[in-house]
């Protein structure tokens, strides 16, 4: 036999990956020359000498420093599989090997499956080796899938790069998380859950363990898992199941990286497939532990042969939300009007939403402090809901100065706002959460004649609390079909919890009417709708404002569940004069002879009517090219009275009668 190896180095460790690759290339070339000359594989005494030489040096070598040895050990490759990988690698980088492969196959290019089987089959039976390429497993995953299907062997780019001593890992759809050294202050919530996950990652055992984390998007699954990886000092290899379902090569790349790094395979969006391919199960048995992240709970169909450890990332409660706000805001400059307790109450956010809202606010504020209005706007940018299908968003434009109402009613509404602003202090700091287990939301009922300012007051409260307001469309909620109204109401309150806004029910007596004696089937269904709505109002922990013109029609049981009832009185003459003054913008040209005392006394109308009078008078004056005077105001007032079926006679207008008659 031609001596091609320096046998005086037999038993000495390989000093570098390049030295091992050179020996491997010499071995492959010898096998190729033997096959080219005889048509047979290297066998007998020659093969035994090669094996003894290689085994001696390999046994003395630190495998972790040699990519080829590490790949074989971590993936559990046998002799044939190692030789097939070596043949493919050497053929691509060693000119002599590439030339010999081309001469044997009659074409230039990658070695074929048949050539590998012929070169490295025991006892000259290559058919036995073809089974290696018939299944989807860790070994076949080392090769380009399309090339392998055509009978050619080409290594995946990341595999070839690693075997040639390259550093780094870049495969689209896979992210590597390297653990950080953390203090427990970096885990503001759910430390016990993090400790439990870390303990399972570090635990041993014969059966592989699968940590199944489920919860809505942004619920903190990644946060919990990464903190557990930090505590365990383990690398996390994150793969997207939705992408891998379409590209099996992605699975193989993630499994390889997890095995080679000694990390934890972390499968995101597991609900997209609900399973791992067989190669994934094989790798999981070698890894010992993996984690799957999903929006839906763990599927028992995947648990066969594994120890399933389900965990849920739930919506944080109020205390946890406050802890997250404070933790996330440590590097933010907050204005004096920002009370994080208020944000923890208003916004039922997942961890990601809190972090994203503060990040956006810091970007928009720049070097300035983040004020409450900006942070509220960024929070609403994070809210995802479908309330627009059942409600109309109202953009509040009014402030307290725009409201003309007795001070007692205004004071009552300000007190109601304080229930949101200081709810955390009362319920959590002062311990009222133990005494009041439900019904912590803010419910308000505005009652009074039409046009007395109920809708305006709702907008003012929305502005005061910096909250979005949605007016419920009764036509979209109330249905003549049995059960549909309850279904629509359930959807309204579910989406309201996601919107973190104010629900405004105008003319609520249509929904909250008195329950009647059951005389026919329709009465029973109507009463069921009212009872269901009462239950939803009581369970809702947000802000709900209701307005009615017919207080006497509201069910008594409903009134007991309302925290604040504000009566809007019909305006007296002094209030009507103030309303006229409020309705006239400073920019409006007006006649000095306008007699607002006369208008307020002679036309007993509500604020909504007065607004219509002033607006119509302004259009009349603009069309005539004059300032707004008594003539325009009287014409508009008479029209408004007639609209309400009230006749105005000449004598009622006294000295101003000639202006319109």
Q: Mean pLDDT over residues 175-193, rounded? A: 82
Considering the entire predicted model, what is its pTM? 0.69
Average pLDDT, the chain: 83
- What is the length of the chain? 661
Residue 153 has pLDDT above 90, yes or no: yes
Identify whether the C-beta of residue 648 lies closer than 8 Å to the C-beta of residue 642.
Answer: yes
* Tokens encoding 543: 């802000």
d(CA 58, CA 273): 41
**Assigned CATH for 318-384:** 1.10.8.60
d(CA 237, CA 251): 11
Q: How confident is the model at residue 527 (pLDDT cuts 50, 70, 90)?
A: low
pLDDT confidence of 301, banded at 50, 70, 90? low
Burial of 655 (0-12, 13-18, 19+ CB in 10 A): exposed
Q: For domain 573-659, which CATH number applies: 3.40.50.2300, 3.40.50.2020, 3.40.50.170, 1.10.8.60? A: 1.10.8.60
Residue whose pair of structure tokens reads 């995947």 in the numeric block = 302
Confidence of residue 8 (pLDDT cuts 50, 70, 90): low
Q: How confident is the model at residue 126 (pLDDT cuts 50, 70, 90)?
A: low
**DSSP string computed for 7-42:** GGGTTPPP-SHHHHHHHHHHHHHHHHHHHHHHSS-S
- What pLDDT score does 182 carry? 74
DSSP string, 347-360: ----HHHHHHHHHH
Of 59-63, 290-294, 565-569, which gets the smallest average pLDDT?
Answer: 59-63
Cα 267 to chain centroid distance, Å, stands at: 17
The answer to whether 174-312 and 573-659 have equal CATH topology is: no
User: From edge to edge, which strands make up the β-sheet containing 502-505?
Assistant: 391-394, 469-472, 502-505, 543-548, 442-447, 564-567
119-132 mean pLDDT: 74
Q: Which residues pair with 209 in a beta bridge?
A: 289, 307
Q: Kindly list the domain boundaries of the chain, sorted by start residue.
A: 7-163, 174-312, 318-384, 400-567, 573-659
Mean pLDDT, range 423-449, rounded to an integer: 83
What confidence tens digit (pLDDT) does each residue in 57-77 have?
A: 666 676 667 888 888 888 889
- pLDDT of 164 reads 86
Highest mean pLDDT, choosing among 75-79, 364-368, 504-508: 364-368
Angle, CA of 585, 462 and 465, to the nearest 5°: 115
What pLDDT is attached to residue 628?
93
pLDDT tens for each residue of 233-264: 999 999 888 887 777 778 888 888 888 888 99
Average pLDDT over residues 483-497: 82
Tell me which of 25 and 65 has the higher pLDDT: 25
Query: pLDDT per residue over 627-636, tens digit each?
Result: 999 999 999 9
Query: Can you give 550-589 as a three-state secondary structure string?
Result: CHHHECHHHHHCCCEEEECCCCCHHHHHHHHHHHCCCCCC
Homologous superfamily in CATH for domain 400-567:
P-loop containing nucleotide triphosphate hydrolases (3.40.50.300)
Taken in order 122, 124, 125, 128, the sign of the CA dihedral is positive
Q: Between residues 47 and 292, which one has the greater pLDDT?
A: 292
Which pLDDT value is given to residue 1? 36
Which one is the CATH code of 174-312: 3.40.50.1980, 3.40.50.300, 3.40.190.10, 3.30.70.890?
3.40.50.300
The two tokens of residue 51 are 């094996």
Q: Which three-class secondary structure state does DSSP give residue 647?
A: coil
């Amino acid at each position: 036999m031609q001596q091609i190896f320096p046998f005086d180095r037999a038993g000495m460790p390989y000093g570098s990956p390049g030295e091992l690759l050179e020996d491997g290339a010499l071995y492959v070339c010898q096998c190729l020359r033997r096959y080219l000359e005889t048509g047979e594989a290297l066998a007998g005494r020659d093969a035994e000498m090669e094996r003894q030489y290689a085994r001696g040096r390999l046994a003395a070598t630190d495998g972790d420093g040699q990519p080829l040895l590490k790949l074989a050990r971590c993936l559990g490759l046998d002799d044939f599989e190692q030789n097939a990988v070596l043949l493919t690698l050497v053929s691509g980088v060693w000119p002599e090997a590439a030339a010999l492969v081309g001469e044997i196959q009659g074409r230039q290019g990658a070695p074929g499956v048949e050539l590998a089987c012929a070169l490295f089959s025991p006892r000259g039976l290559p058919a036995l080796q073809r089974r290696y390429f018939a299944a989807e497993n860790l070994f076949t995953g080392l090769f380009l899938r399309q090339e392998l299907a055509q009978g050619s062997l080409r290594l995946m780019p990341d595999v070839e790069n690693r075997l040639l001593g390259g550093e780094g890992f870049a495969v689209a759809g896979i992210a590597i998380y390297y653990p950080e050294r953390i203090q427990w202050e970096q885990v503001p919530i759910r430390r016990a859950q993090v400790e439990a996950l870390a303990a399972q990652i570090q635990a041993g055992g014969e059966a592989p363990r699968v940590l199944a984390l489920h919860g809505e998007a942004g619920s903190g699954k990644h946060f919990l898992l990464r903190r557990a990886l930090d505590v365990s000092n383990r690398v996390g290899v994150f793969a997207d199941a939705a992408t891998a379902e379409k590209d099996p090569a992605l699975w193989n790349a993630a499994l390889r990286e997890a095995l080679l790094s000694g990390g934890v395979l972390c499968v995101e969006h597991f609900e997209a497939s609900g399973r791992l391919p067989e190669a994934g199960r094989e790798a999981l048995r070698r890894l010992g532990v993996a984690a799957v992240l999903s929006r839906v709970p763990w599927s028992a169909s995947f648990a066969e042969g594994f120890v399933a450890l389900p965990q849920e990332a739930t919506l944080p409660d109020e205390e946890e939300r406050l802890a997250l706000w404070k933790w996330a805001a440590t590097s933010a400059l907050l204005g004096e009007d920002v009370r994080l307790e208020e944000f923890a109450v208003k916004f039922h956010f997942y961890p990601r939403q809190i972090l994203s809202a503060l990040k956006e606010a810091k970007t928009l504020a720049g070097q300035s402090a983040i004020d409450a209005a900006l942070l509220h706007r960024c929070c609403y940018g994070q809210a995802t809901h479908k309330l627009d299908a059942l409600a109309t968003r109202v953009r509040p434009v009014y402030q307290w100065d725009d409201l003309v109402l007795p001070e007692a009613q205004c004071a009552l509404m300000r007190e109601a706002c304080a229930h949101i602003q200081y709810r955390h202090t009362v319920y959590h700091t002062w311990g009222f959460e133990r005494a009041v287990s439900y019904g912590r939301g803010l419910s308000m009922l505005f009652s009074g004649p039409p046009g007395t300012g109920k809708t305006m007051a709702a907008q003012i409260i929305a502005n005061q609390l910096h909250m979005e307001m949605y007016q419920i469309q009764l036509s979209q909620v109330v249905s003549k079909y049995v059960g549909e109204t309850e279904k629509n109401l359930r959807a309204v309150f579910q989406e309201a919890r996601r919107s973190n806004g104010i629900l405004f029910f105008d003319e609520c007596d249509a929904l909250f009417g008195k329950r009647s004696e059951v005389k026919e089937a329709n009465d029973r269904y109507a009463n069921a709708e009212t009872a269901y709505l009462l239950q939803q109002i009581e369970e809702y922990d947000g802000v709900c404002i209701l307005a009615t013109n017919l207080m006497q029609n509201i069910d008594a049981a409903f009134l007991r569940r309302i925290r604040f009832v504000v009566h809007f009185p019909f305006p007296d003459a002094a209030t009507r004069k103030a309303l006229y003054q409020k309705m006239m913008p400073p920019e409006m040209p007006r006649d000095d002879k306008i007699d607002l005392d006369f208008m307020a006394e002679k036309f007993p109308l509500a604020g909504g009517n007065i607004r219509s009078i002033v607006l119509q008078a302004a259009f009349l004056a603009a069309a005539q090219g004059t300032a707004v005077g008594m003539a325009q105001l009287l014409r508009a007032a008479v029209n408004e009275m007639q609209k309400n079926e009230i006749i105005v006679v000449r004598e009622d207008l006294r000295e101003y009668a000639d202006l319109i008659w």
